[in-house]
């Protein structure tokens, strides 16, 4: 990526796979046990044909040794060759049937194990993500977070389904087949096993090479997703700015970065598997050469003893069963490395500690009087940076039922101020209190229940208008929803929608105009009837006439509860008990509308601007406004 991106997720380092199994595997152990047991049964029944074949060749066809089966009393074995053949066929069919059923149950167990863990992990990661503070989301890219919740969790599927299962199968093979081979002929077994140390070293080298490549690949998937998500969200700007070619280039670049990291990993991977097959194949050929020589010419030095043709066939079949699956070990290692890169990213979300969190012993707000105090509040979005804080020593006190108007130039910190009241952020210095309790000590659920917050750009969920109004007050009945909509001057436009209150409003409410969205959000707040009302330019998108209707409802609502209202249109807060004028993060003037006009400072000048009385504005007002703009755009101080 060429452009400066906000910091992404820092993957958790090491050990996350073990933690994943410890945290999620234990609960799902039943399925894993079923999967393992059945996989072992399937594997064991897979060993039967080779053993029987060798025996049948030697005992029935060549007659060089007696027909004797392990675990079966000799008395049960028919004496006649025909009977022995039928027994062989019967056991072969029985073993195949058992193998099929066991294989089904083995897959069932392991797939259930993998799917359940993925589901639990996805849900937990989402739950954890949701608990993060606003600053976490400010610093993260939506597309990257989605990529963790979806792609990274899904990446775990193949290892969770097959990793441990195949690992156990290989251990069972190495031990089981190895033991049988050693029992048949320890020297020839040693020849077959020469491949094992070579495979181990080769795989170790692969792991070291592939791990950072998979981590880079997962990161580039996150980047690509972030870019795509951003572009789909901003499609209107792309079109109106004619930026399609520019964006196609940027997506190409992000896709190319993914291509490159993926290709880098693929090159290592595709070299690894043929390498493994080569080692296994050479070992098979070596065993064949030594074994065939042995059958034909007797034991080569330094070996001793005889090898029959039947024993040689059994041996070669086992060698094949032993050596080829050992090469599959590489696949497990490969899947493990992929899964690990993804798990590290999922754990980065699970490990993130929100700085805005529930207090250890939170205070319950049972009945809220509504006193709101800001006590010498200082706040910075980047407390470790050297930028001037966004809020500096802000203090005010609103008695229960008071209305506080907040006005000031753009960027002066008005929205930030009210976000501290609902704990989207916590102050760096000073305290925000509701009814005398520091909001950091109050139960988050109680605080958010008590405070109704209408944001500057309300967000509507994909769903019906009714669901959007009832969001947060989920059990509201239709009459209450309609009454709230009427108070927000929304009922008429809603009934004119194709399905009235049941009309689906699109993702992010795009089917509604800005003013309609604001009214739905206001209806949500009217329905909630909060103890403290916070309005961040809640009527900025509606026309003056509609605003008058809403303001009447808001005034009625504000009459018996504390209200903090931000307004650019000063007329909406002229009746407030106190108006705070913010400039550069400080309260520079405070008082009633009349007090502030009499003071003839910033507020009085802003009032003149809105009255269109430009002639009466002093030159110093324009100088200060220009300086403020320069400061905001230059990121410096405004005073």
Ligand X SMILES: Nc1ncnc2c1ncn2[C@@H]1O[C@H](COP(=O)(O)OP(=O)(O)OP(=O)(O)O)[C@@H](O)[C@H]1O
Among 415, 443, 473, 540, binds ligand X (CB under 6 A): 415
Of the two residues 379 and 621, which places its CB atom closer to ligand X in the complex? 379
Residues with Cβ within 8 Å of 542's Cβ and at least 6 positions away in sequence, in order, are: 489, 515, 518, 519, 550
Of the two residues 109 and 409, which places its CB atom closer to ligand X in the complex? 409
416 lies in the binding site for ligand X (CB under 6 A) = yes
Residues with Cβ within 8 Å of 160's Cβ and at least 6 positions away in sequence, in order, are: 110, 113, 114, 117, 118, 339
Of the two residues 418 and 558, which places its CB atom closer to ligand X in the complex? 418
Choose the binding region for ligand X from 140-148, 186-194, 393-401, 413-421 (rule: CB under 6 A).
Answer: 413-421
Helices 619-634 and 602-610 pack at an angle, to 10 degrees, of 100
487 lies in the binding site for ligand X (CB under 6 A) = no
Q: Give kind and range of the element (H or E) at residue 437.
A: strand 437-438
| Range 389-408, binding ligand X (CB under 6 A) | 390, 408
Of the two residues 91 and 135, which places its CB atom closer to ligand X in the complex? 135
What's the closest the beta carbon of residue 509 comes to ligand X, in angstroms?
Answer: 20
What's the closest the beta carbon of residue 584 comes to ligand X, in angstroms?
Answer: 9
**Bridge-based pairing state of the strands 562-566 and 578-583:** unpaired
| Range 47-106, binding ligand X (CB under 6 A) | none
639 lies in the binding site for ligand X (CB under 6 A) = no
Q: Do residues 221 and 151 make contact, with C-beta atoms less than 8 angstroms apart?
A: yes
Q: How far is CA 343 from the centre of its chain?
A: 11
Size of the site for ligand X (CB under 6 A): 11
Structure tokens given for 233: 């969200």
What is the rounded distance in angstroms from the CA atom of residue 362 to the CA atom of residue 110?
Answer: 43
Q: Which residue has the tokens 């290709």?
A: 263
Of the two residues 291 and 458, which places its CB atom closer to ligand X in the complex? 458
Helices (H), 7-69: 16-20, 29-55
What's the closest the beta carbon of residue 540 comes to ligand X, in angstroms?
Answer: 9
412 lies in the binding site for ligand X (CB under 6 A) = yes
Among 405, 411, 515, 584, binds ligand X (CB under 6 A): 411
What's the closest the beta carbon of residue 632 comes to ligand X, in angstroms?
Answer: 6
Helices 195-233 and 244-297 pack at an angle, to 10 degrees, of 170
What's the closest the beta carbon of residue 536 comes to ligand X, in angstroms?
Answer: 7
Residue 394 phi, psi (nearest 5): -85, 125
Binding track, positions 365-384, relative to ligand X; x by CB under 6 A: ----------------x---
What's the closest the beta carbon of residue 557 comes to ligand X, in angstroms?
Answer: 22
Distances (CA, A) of 209 to 149, 195, 261, 279: 27, 21, 13, 19
> How many residues are present in the chain?
639
Give the residue among 55, 44, 64, 45 at the shortest CA–CA distance from 84. 55
* SS3 (DSSP) at 507: helix
Of the two residues 439 and 567, which places its CB atom closer to ligand X in the complex? 567
What's the closest the beta carbon of residue 237 comes to ligand X, in angstroms?
Answer: 19
161 lies in the binding site for ligand X (CB under 6 A) = no
Quote the strand ranges of 335-384, DSSP E: 372-379
Choose the binding region for ligand X from 229-237, 414-422, 438-446, 504-512 (rule: CB under 6 A).
Answer: 414-422
25 lies in the binding site for ligand X (CB under 6 A) = no
410 lies in the binding site for ligand X (CB under 6 A) = yes
Residues in contact with ligand X by CB under 6 A are 138, 381, 390, 408, 410-416
């Amino acid at each position: 990526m060429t452009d400066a991106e906000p910091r992404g997720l820092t993957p958790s380092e090491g050990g996350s796979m073990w933690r994943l199994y410890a945290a999620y595997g234990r609960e799902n152990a039943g399925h894993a046990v079923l999967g393992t047991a059945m996989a072992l049964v399937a594997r064991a029944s897979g060993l039967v044909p080779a053993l029987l074949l060798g025996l049948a060749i030697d005992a029935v066809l060549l007659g060089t040794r007696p027909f004797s089966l392990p675990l079966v009393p000799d008395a049960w074995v028919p004496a006649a060759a025909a009977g022995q053949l039928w027994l062989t066929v019967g056991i072969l069919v029985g073993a195949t049937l058992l193998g099929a059923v066991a294989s089904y149950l083995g897959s069932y167990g392991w797939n259930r194990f993998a799917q359940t863990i993925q589901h639990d992990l996805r849900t937990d990661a989402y739950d954890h993500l949701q608990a993060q503070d606003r600053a976490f989301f400010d610093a993260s890219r939506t597309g990257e977070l989605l990529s963790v919740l979806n792609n990274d969790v899904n990446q775990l599927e193949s290892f969770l389904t097959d990793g441990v299962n195949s690992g156990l199968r290989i251990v069972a093979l190495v031990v089981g087949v190895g033991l049988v081979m050693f029992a048949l002929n320890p020297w020839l077994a040693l020849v077959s096993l020469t491949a094992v140390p070579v495979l181990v070293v080769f795989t170790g080298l692969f792991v070291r090479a592939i791990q950072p490549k998979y981590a880079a690949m997962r990161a580039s998937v996150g980047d690509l997703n972030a870019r795509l998500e951003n572009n789909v969200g901003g499609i209107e700007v792309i079109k109106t700015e004619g930026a399609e070619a520019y964006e196609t280039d940027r997506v190409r670049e992000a896709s190319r970065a993914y291509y490159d990291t993926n290709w880098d990993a693929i090159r290592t991977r595709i070299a690894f598997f043929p390498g493994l097959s080569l080692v296994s194949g050479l070992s098979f050929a070596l065993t064949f050469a030594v074994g065939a020589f042995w059958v034909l010419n007797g034991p080569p030095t330094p070996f001793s003893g005889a090898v029959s043709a039947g024993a040689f066939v059994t041996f070669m079949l086992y060698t094949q069963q032993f050596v080829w699956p050992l090469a599959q070990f590489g696949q497990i290692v490969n899947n493990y490395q992929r899964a690990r890169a993804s798990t590290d990213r999922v754990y980065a979300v699970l490990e993130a500690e929100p700085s805005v969190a529930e207090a250890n012993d939170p205070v319950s707000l049972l009945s809220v009087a509504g006193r709101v105090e800001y006590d010498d509040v200082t706040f910075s979005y980047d407390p470790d940076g050297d930028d001037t804080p966004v809020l500096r020593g802000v203090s005010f006190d609103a008695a229960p039922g008071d209305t506080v108007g907040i006005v000031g130039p753009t960027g002066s910190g008005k929205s930030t101020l009210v976000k501290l009241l609902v704990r989207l952020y916590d102050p760096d210095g000073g305290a925000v209190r509701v009814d005398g309790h520091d909001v950091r000590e109050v139960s988050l659920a109680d605080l958010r229940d008590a405070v109704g917050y209408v944001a500057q750009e309300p967000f509507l969920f994909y769903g019906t208008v009714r669901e959007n109004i009832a969001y947060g007050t989920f059990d509201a009945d239709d009459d209450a929803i309609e009454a709230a909509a009427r108070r927000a001057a929304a009922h008429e436009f809603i009934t004119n929608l194709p399905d009235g209150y049941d009309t689906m409003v699109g993702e992010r409410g795009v089917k509604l105009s800005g003013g309609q969205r604001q009214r739905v959000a206001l209806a949500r707040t009217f329905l909630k009837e909060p103890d403290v009302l916070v309005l961040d330019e809640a009527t900025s998108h509606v026309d003056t006439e509609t605003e008058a209707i809403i303001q009447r409802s808001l005034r009625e609502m504000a009459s018996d509860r504390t209200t903090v209202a931000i307004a650019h249109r000063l007329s909406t807060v002229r009746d407030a008990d106190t108006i705070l004028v913010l400039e550069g993060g400080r309260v520079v003037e405070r008082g009633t509308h009349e007090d502030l006009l009499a003071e003839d400072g910033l507020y009085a000048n802003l009032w003149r601007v809105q009255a269109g009385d430009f002639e009466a504005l002093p030159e110093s007002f324009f100088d200060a406004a220009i300086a403020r703009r320069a400061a905001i755009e230059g990121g410096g101080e405004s005073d």
